[in-house]
Amino acid sequence: MNLNVSGHHLDVTPAIRAYVQGKLERVTRHFDHVIDAHVILSVDKLRQKAEVTLHVRGKDIHCASEESDLYAAIDLLADKLDRQVLKYKAKRNGKPHEALKRADTN
């Protein structure tokens, strides 16, 4: 997975980059067809915002979170992204349509 971390009104330190990378590893444990991820971290006065666009085969998954602490925003972002990836994986590997099942039995 290619990871691109950028900051808006924020210098991305190696510690923040490693923290984001560690949190996004959880997504790749659940679903290994991730092509790349683009993370944008931004600061507006007292609000810290984290956004990610995850490119998987056939779809782009976008997620955003906003908290008063940057690390909390990254944690919330990882949780939201994990749920979205699991939902996408379930849809992709889900059961075939009922009409297709009935066509096979006839």
Q: Please state the domain extents for the chain.
A: 2-105
Mean pLDDT of the chain: 87
Rounded to two decimals, the pTM is 0.82
Range 2-105: architecture per CATH: 2-Layer Sandwich (3.30)
- What DSSP element (H or E) covers 10? none
Query: Given this model, what pLDDT does residue 105 score?
Result: 61
Q: What is the pLDDT of residues 12-24, one digit of tens each?
A: 999 999 999 999 9
Q: Distance (Å, rounded) from C-alpha 34 to C-alpha 73? A: 22
